[in-house]
Structure 1
Amino acid sequence: MLVVLDDASSEAQVRRLLPTSAGSAALVTSRSKLAGLPGVHRHTIPPLLPEDATSMLAELSGAQDVDGAGVLVQIGTLCGHLPLALCVAAAKLATNEHLRLEDLRDRLSDEHARLDELSVGDIDVRASITTSVTDLSPAAGVLFRRLALAPSGDWPGWVAALLLERGSAPSGSRVSGSVGGRPSAPDGVHGGGRGGRGARAGGAARALDELIDCHLVEPTGRDTAGQPRFRVHSLVAELAAEALADTEPVSDSDALAIELARQWLALSDVADARLDPGGVRGSDDPAGPTTDAAVRAASESPADWFESERLNLVGAVHAAVARDDRELAARIALAIRTFLTIRAYDDERERVLRIALDDYPEEADQRLSAQLLAALFGVLAQEHRHDELPDVARRFLDAARRVGDGPLEQRALSQLGWAAMVRRDFAASLGWYEQAAELAVARDDRAARTTADAHRGVLLRNMGLPAEGDPLLAAMVAESRELGSRRSTCIWLVTRAEGLVDLDLFDEARALLDEALALAREVRDDLGEAHCHLALARVHLGRGALVDATTEYESARPRLDAHARSGEDLDVLRLRVDLDTAAGRWHDARPRVERLVAARRAAGDPLELACDLAREARCAAHLDAGEPADGDPASGDDPTRTECRAILERLDLEPGALRLPAHLRH
């Protein structure tokens, strides 16, 4: 005999109905784990897979239109792939012929009204979830509603302890009453009680266990930093937010959200200091972290910790801005920027910096505003958005001068020099770098002078004068090895090595790049590692070791292409052309170099265009003449060479600025 017991509320309700005869079994469904029943097999039913949720929506609603498949996927996501929510959505579509898929999607997109929308007939998602909430103990009720303050639906265990340990809540019984016509979550008590921090932590653990038992919270195991993690379904989180708004003053909730954000900042500072020692720190006054275990995770596994908490940290910036704590938002954004840079989360890096900068108040710490602008410049420079650089750099300079901060002013002058250089205004660039050097001398800052000179060295290298630039870059490498962060040292090593390749000093360049590669791996800078491989490929190409060059090229290409917005990194494509031509594969090189030149035209960088026009001219001359083309790559009367020569003349540069590999140079 098989006994089926649906929606059992307690163990006592089940025990007297369990069959005892041989060969019999019982199938029980419940909103809790019924932990008091020993010797049973438990299975938690998770939300549907995205594709299954979409299929269920299509079948139940009758929306089989292929054109609407994408909207069905979005609706499924907004329903959290929860079967009950999907049934409600499908029923609305099936019974309302005037309701378009897009209309329902838009209604569900309002996260503060999603539960209102997920009700049809006698099926109500809010009521279903509330059934699990109404019998919570006071402490579990407090924790349930305060989990709405977590920046994301996935969080480490210390968050639950903080939400109960900090703030206060009125004592009360299990749930009673209603709010706005809806059953409310229970009133609750402060989770601390007597007995100190250990007792409070124990109270939080018991409250969390209760939420897990009711399937309001899902444990997801330990993350790569070793922290226990938990997840709240998006619809459950919305009900928690309603309960929080209905039962606790906004001022108390805001204060608790700010306290939580300060903990994220404190832990970010710990992780940032360990991720890239010696780097520029954004916070000088961190709050004390919550637990020793949290500090240990951030300190011992900083990259893993940042990766696990990325959404929470971005959410903490939003939470601080929403509560008008712009300085806190700025500090968090600055504390996470190095990690976001290393892991190439460029969109998120720009987003948090701009959010923190928008409407930044004049009475707030303006040094933070200046640092945000400096960091934003870095994002734009890395993405080659050159037209936006001068404005950001000038705003940075103005902010630095307003607060009278010499080091920040120095950085701003260097950024203005960089902005002019990448826009190919070399005279202006040199002027800004000279101002930066003069300021460093006036401040008697040897390290700052070395940095200003190093930027001038990059300028000279890009102008085709690597021999003049190399001593300046060599001094910077030495300085960075002594005082700089690992990531900064890695960047300067690669920068100098690229100039040594232009000088055909391949062995010295390789030694620097091997050192840079080791540093990139230490800080887990995947993109930096790819750039090291790309530069090593140029070294091997110059030495004529084409097999080794191809190996390094293949190591660099996937990561760099994946990071490029077009899906194809132009420096990688250029190297492919150089490898083809070095191997005599001129026919393979021709379509690639034509694609490269077209992309350079679209990008609008005249010097980079000239470099690749020279390659196209070499390729065309070889294929059209049937023999290698020798001599000045910019000489000749064909249109490609003429355009290349005109660009060099306009920029007042010599052919050395084309920085061609040796086999295309001669």
Structure 2
Amino acid sequence: MRFCLLGPVTAQSADQAIELGRRERLALAYLLLRSDRLTSTDRLIDMLWSDPPRTARQQLHNVIASLRRRVQHGCDELIVTRPMGYELRLGEHQLDVLEFRRHAGRGRDALLNGRYDEAEPCFASALALWRGAAMEDVTGEWADNLRASLMDERVAVAEAWLDCLFELGRHEEVIEAAGPLIVASPYREGLHEHRLRALAASGRRTEALEGYQAIRRTMVDELGIEPGAGLRLLHQRLLDGSDLPPRWSSPPRPRPLEVPPAPYLFGRDELLDQLEHELVPTTEPVVVALTGIGGAGKTSLAVAAAHRVEGRFRGGVLFADLRGSSAHPLVPHEIAARFLRSLGTPADHVPDNPDERLTLYRSTIADSPALVVLDDAGAEAQVRPLLPAAAGCAALVTSRRRLSGLATHARARTIGALGPQDAANLLIASSTRDDITREQAYAAAELCSGLPLALCVAGARLAVSTHVDIAEMLAQFRQEHDHLDGFALGDLDVRAALSTSYDNGLSVGAQDLLCALGLTAGQSWPRWLADIASPENRSLPALEELINVHFVEPDGRDRTGRPRLRMHRLVAEFASERARARWSTTAVRERQVTALRGWHGLAAFCDEQLDHGMDTVHGLPPATAIDGVIGGREHAYDWFQVEYGSLLDAVDRAIALEEYDLAASIALRTNGFLTVKAFDVEREAMLRKCLALPLRTLLRERLLRGLFAVLAQRGRDTELAPVAQQLLTAATEHGDPIGVQLALARCGSAASFVNRFEEATSFLIRAADAAAALNDPGAVAEARGRLAMVHLETGHPSEAEPLLAEVIRSERRLGASRSVAVWLVAHTDCLIEIGRLQDAAKDIEEAHAIAVAIGDEYGQATCGLRRATLLNRKGDVAAAWRSLEHNSPVLDRHAGAGINLDALRLRVDLLLAEGNWASAEESLTALLTARRRSPNTLELARDLARSARLRHAQGDPGAASDTQQVAQILRQLGLEKATLRLPSP
């Protein structure tokens, strides 16, 4: 079988072309270019689909199966399925790209030794394999990059071929062949230089001078640059009539290939493709720097890239471990001596003087352009003397430092951790075990935080422990994880890799700051934390040192415009480990508590700026003020949006330190924001966690109020009464009259939610009396507003309306806009029942505007639901549907049962209004099923009344049964039919 990529993608068997579909060509081209290597399923999916469908894995399987049917022809070993992907084993099959490179390699060997008559046909044969643009019928970013890379190889071979023709005196052939090549690559100066030299050698010097001027105009007009040094020198020689400069001297030299064997990589395909595209011989030397923390896999990536591109550099590949992260880094002139010997310079010809030695190295490499791989560079000064300065050369540098001083020379790439999928694949491959499940692999990879070195250690430990159950190994990893003990095996040791950078690359101040951050920072954190975590090292240089060695990485700016940083989890664990060895237990605790007080201070400041309408939070421990972090009131909401996850983590940290009052205080300062955003799951978990602590009664009261609010919002009605009773008991024992009044109001609401209306009325009257005794008009109005909700529920909206209007006026005076919005929604319900639809519309629009202003997503959706109800009452069913569909996803997301029953009831009402009986019946069935699990029998009666209406419309005799159940419930509750809130039929 013969495969061709240097033109359209084709497969031929016995001179018979095989027809391939678009995705088959894509897959085949990619597998061919990665032949005899595993290509992961995920990588193939990403390559075949820009937006992979849910069925992508099955579709890929079908593509591969189709390819096998078309191209294998009895050879079952061509495309092999591997545990994590596929491998195309080329074997005896032919691939034109490999043939091109073999011909070109033989030509370079002959050219290197001055055998032009042997080199020329090799280069000609290589170029003859091209049938157009490489993979011209394959699209995609990866194809474009590889196409450009292959084109660079083609032009480099073409230039070598033109050199041979010139040296053989075949100048007219050079002129003729250079023309089409220049059209395809108009800015490749080497091609122009070949043509001008051939014109001059043919006696057409004037034409050559005119050609140079044309080239110069093009480059200045289109690129804004002058021609390079080679063309300018040639132009000068043409002007003064002197001898033409030689293209290059080519004494016979060895061609070293010093890089270690190519490793197999996971998750680095895109980076390798980019490096393959960048490491191309050009008219300027190319330098690429790969930087990252120890264990990130920089060396493996550099070695793999060097093996991919070594055929492009006729001088070979030089490799040196500079030992820059060790206590004894090598000096550049020592490396230069070894490189000179590798390039064929006799040992006794290597100069003793370091400067002369480096000068000879650069001259030698200019004569025989090579790729230079400089591994583990310690500093720019160690690297810079070894960088090639000549055209056609390239350098690939790896370092644990950022090497910012090379910015003018190098293209820098930071090598980070692997994603979860690639990390799991690497771990499975390293373990060589077939009894590890994907779930177990993901769990183990998560412990490694995507660091390739840690993954290799974990995989190696699994490999040597085949007698141990995977689950047992995972448990052991978790036990050892906090102390990095689980990540050491033989010479693979994460702690040792990080220690090298810590011990040899950091000042004492930077070491102190890293230790402090290991105690106080998470994986992503704000800049101010570094200042208070280590106040003695607040200077910028200490933090810059940590950034320079990749222990800390910049993480952009948050919504408030403040800088953020991040730290790999294993680095954080290493730093925490060093901190505990460096400082006493008391000193460690002091630093941790200081950071937590900083979080409390900022949360307290921002909480007081938010208009969340929650109970005031007086009597908490004093907050530590941190100046300059929050720009002002307008940034308070954005700060919470960015940091609420860190605040939840701070609560856990405070609990672990047994700073219980501080944990509860941070929780209470965060509660208002979580309420506005309806982050109810996180809010409830945080409050319950703190309520389990031994706290002062005052803090316990505040937490119980927050828990009551979140349970009410989530519709957990049966859980409210016990919480309200706990709150009343705590306030009574504490002798807190304000707390008692608030608890009475909540006891009343809890009773109302489960239809105990007489009990609710009694509690609420007591709450109003208690508020009056405290001379608190706002509390009086709030209690009377809750009483109004009882009137509304029991079918007396006219009695409820003035009380609700009163509480709205009171909240307006207090300036609590979110509370105004909450009561406006209740007032809207009341006005709808009275029939004052125009006034109801005004209320709900005002409430919605407030919710938008404070970023209350759940509040906006609640207003949208009321708007839909109002539109239905007005008879505009289509508009009601639009409002309901727009807001239902948010309402359902925050509902305790995963579906908002009020929204589902309105859906039933709209379907009934449209006469869509079948859909109405389906929704009613779901609604009634949910209601029967609830203690609120009044709501069940309201839904049964709708069921009776539907059955009556369908002529179903079951309508009578529903009507009887409704009547029975109303009798039990002592309520009238008006409480059913049925829309007009």
TM-score, normalised by the number of residues in structure 2: 0.60
Whole-Å separation in 2 of the counterparts to 1:270 and 1:86: 43
Q: Which among 963, 970, 981 is matched to residue 641 of structure 1?
A: 963
Alignment of 1:646-665 (within 5 A): 646-663=968-985
Whole-Å separation in 1 of the counterparts to 2:796 and 2:471: 59
Q: Would the alpha carbon gap of residues 470 and 107 (structure 1) be closer, same or farther in structure 2, given more than 3 Å must change?
A: farther
Matching of residue 18 in structure 1 with residue 353 in structure 2 = no
Matching of residue 572 in structure 1 with residue 941 in structure 2 = no
Deviations 1:296-353 (A, max 9, x none): 16x3222221121112211222222222322222221111101111112222212222
Whole-Å separation in 1 of the counterparts to 2:613 and 2:898: 33
1:216 Cα deviation from its structure 2 partner: 0.5
Alignment of 1:500-579 (within 5 A): 500-579=831-910
Q: Would the alpha carbon gap of residues 161 and 607 (structure 1) be closer, same or farther in structure 2, given more than 3 Å must change?
A: same
Aligned to 2:533: 163
1:274 Cα deviation from its structure 2 partner: 1.8
Q: Which among 690, 702, 708 is matched to residue 356 of structure 1?
A: 690
Whole-Å separation in 1 of the counterparts to 2:393 and 2:887: 62
Alignment of 1:448-463 (within 5 A): 448-463=779-794
Q: Which among 751, 769, 772 is matched to residue 420 of structure 1?
A: 751
Q: Which has the higher contact order (CA 8 A, sep 6+)?
A: 1
Whole-Å separation in 2 of the counterparts to 1:575 and 1:414: 29
1:266 Cα deviation from its structure 2 partner: 1.5
Instruction: Tell me if the contact between 2:652 and 2:663 (Cα under 8 Å) persists in the aligned partners.
Output: yes
Q: Which among 821, 827, 837 is matched to residue 496 of structure 1?
A: 827
Instruction: Tell me if the contact between 2:861 and 2:890 (Cα under 8 Å) persists in the aligned partners.
Output: yes
Q: Would the alpha carbon gap of residues 254 and 44 (structure 1) be closer, same or farther in structure 2, given more than 3 Å must change?
A: same
1:283 Cα deviation from its structure 2 partner: 4.6
Deviations 1:402-434 (A, max 9, x none): 333222211100111111111221111111111
Q: Which among 671, 677, 680 is matched to residue 343 of structure 1?
A: 677
Q: Would the alpha carbon gap of residues 102 and 484 (structure 1) be closer, same or farther in structure 2, given more than 3 Å must change?
A: farther
Whole-Å separation in 2 of the counterparts to 1:7 and 1:571: 64
The more displaced of 327-336 and 349-358 is 349-358
Instruction: Tell me if the contact between 1:262 and 1:287 (Cα under 8 Å) persists in the aligned partners.
Output: yes
1:214 Cα deviation from its structure 2 partner: 0.7
Alignment of 1:380-529 (within 5 A): 380-529=711-860
Q: Would the alpha carbon gap of residues 118 and 241 (structure 1) be closer, same or farther in structure 2, given more than 3 Å must change?
A: same
SS at match of 2:843: helix
The more displaced of 546-555 and 399-408 is 399-408
Aligned residues: 613
Instruction: Tell me if the contact between 2:612 and 2:676 (Cα under 8 Å) persists in the aligned partners.
Output: no
Instruction: Tell me if the contact between 2:483 and 2:574 (Cα under 8 Å) persists in the aligned partners.
Output: no
Aligned to 2:623: 287
Matching of residue 208 in structure 1 with residue 543 in structure 2 = yes
Instruction: Tell me if the contact between 2:714 and 2:894 (Cα under 8 Å) persists in the aligned partners.
Output: no
Whole-Å separation in 1 of the counterparts to 2:897 and 2:772: 43
Q: Would the alpha carbon gap of residues 107 and 509 (structure 1) be closer, same or farther in structure 2, given more than 3 Å must change?
A: farther
Letter matched to residue 84 of structure 1? L
Instruction: Tell me if the contact between 1:140 and 1:210 (Cα under 8 Å) persists in the aligned partners.
Output: yes
The more displaced of 237-246 and 640-649 is 640-649
1:58 Cα deviation from its structure 2 partner: 3.0
Letter matched to residue 339 of structure 1? F
1:152 Cα deviation from its structure 2 partner: 2.4
Whole-Å separation in 2 of the counterparts to 1:320 and 1:396: 24
SS at match of 2:550: coil
Q: Which among 558, 565, 568 is matched to residue 230 of structure 1?
A: 565
Aligned to 1:36: 405
Matching of residue 94 in structure 1 with residue 459 in structure 2 = no
1:63 Cα deviation from its structure 2 partner: 5.3
1:356 Cα deviation from its structure 2 partner: 2.4
Aligned to 1:267: 602
1:60 Cα deviation from its structure 2 partner: 3.1
1:545 Cα deviation from its structure 2 partner: 1.0
Deviations 1:4-49 (A, max 9, x none): 1222223333233322332111111111112333421111012112
Percent identity over the alignment is 39
Matching of residue 152 in structure 1 with residue 522 in structure 2 = yes
The more displaced of 503-512 and 4-13 is 4-13
Deviations 1:493-539 (A, max 9, x none): 11111121122221111100100001001110001100000000001
Instruction: Tell me if the contact between 1:144 and 1:240 (Cα under 8 Å) persists in the aligned partners.
Output: yes
SS at match of 1:424: coil
Deviations 1:275-304 (A, max 9, x none): 217653325564342231x1316x322222
Deviations 1:373-407 (A, max 9, x none): 11111122222222322222122112222333222
1:252 Cα deviation from its structure 2 partner: 1.8
Whole-Å separation in 1 of the counterparts to 2:521 and 2:583: 18
Instruction: Tell me if the contact between 1:88 and 1:123 (Cα under 8 Å) persists in the aligned partners.
Output: yes
Q: Would the alpha carbon gap of residues 225 and 104 (structure 1) be closer, same or farther in structure 2, given more than 3 Å must change?
A: farther
Whole-Å separation in 2 of the counterparts to 1:98 and 1:646: 68
Whole-Å separation in 2 of the counterparts to 1:307 and 1:152: 17
TM-score, normalised by the number of residues in structure 1: 0.88
Whole-Å separation in 1 of the counterparts to 2:561 and 2:381: 38
Whole-Å separation in 2 of the counterparts to 1:106 and 1:499: 58
Instruction: Tell me if the contact between 1:48 and 1:81 (Cα under 8 Å) persists in the aligned partners.
Output: yes
1:145 Cα deviation from its structure 2 partner: 0.7
Deviations 1:181-212 (A, max 9, x none): xxxxxxxxx32xxxxxxxxx4x1x21111111
Whole-Å separation in 2 of the counterparts to 1:608 and 1:467: 20
1:270 Cα deviation from its structure 2 partner: 1.8
Instruction: Tell me if the contact between 1:540 and 1:546 (Cα under 8 Å) persists in the aligned partners.
Output: yes
The more displaced of 509-518 and 611-620 is 611-620
1:231 Cα deviation from its structure 2 partner: 0.6
1:445 Cα deviation from its structure 2 partner: 2.2
Q: Would the alpha carbon gap of residues 387 and 118 (structure 1) be closer, same or farther in structure 2, given more than 3 Å must change?
A: same
Instruction: Tell me if the contact between 1:597 and 1:612 (Cα under 8 Å) persists in the aligned partners.
Output: yes
Q: Which among 467, 484, 493 is matched to residue 124 of structure 1?
A: 493
Deviations 1:253-273 (A, max 9, x none): 222222221221221122112
Matching of residue 140 in structure 1 with residue 510 in structure 2 = yes
Instruction: Tell me if the contact between 1:211 and 1:217 (Cα under 8 Å) persists in the aligned partners.
Output: yes
Letter matched to residue 980 of structure 2? L
Point out where structure 1 has 5 or more consecutive residues left out of the alignment: 166-189, 192-200, 630-635
Instruction: Tell me if the contact between 2:708 and 2:724 (Cα under 8 Å) persists in the aligned partners.
Output: yes
Whole-Å separation in 1 of the counterparts to 2:876 and 2:845: 17
Alignment of 1:542-621 (within 5 A): 542-621=873-952
Instruction: Tell me if the contact between 1:381 and 1:389 (Cα under 8 Å) persists in the aligned partners.
Output: yes
1:565 Cα deviation from its structure 2 partner: 4.5
Aligned to 2:415: 45
Deviations 1:82-116 (A, max 9, x none): 11112222222233223344333333444753621
Whole-Å separation in 2 of the counterparts to 1:565 and 1:383: 5
Whole-Å separation in 2 of the counterparts to 1:637 and 1:159: 66
Whole-Å separation in 2 of the counterparts to 1:105 and 1:559: 38
Instruction: Tell me if the contact between 1:151 and 1:315 (Cα under 8 Å) persists in the aligned partners.
Output: no
1:223 Cα deviation from its structure 2 partner: 0.8
Whole-Å separation in 2 of the counterparts to 1:110 and 1:462: 56
1:658 Cα deviation from its structure 2 partner: 1.8
Q: Would the alpha carbon gap of residues 619 and 326 (structure 1) be closer, same or farther in structure 2, given more than 3 Å must change?
A: same
Whole-Å separation in 2 of the counterparts to 1:38 and 1:574: 64
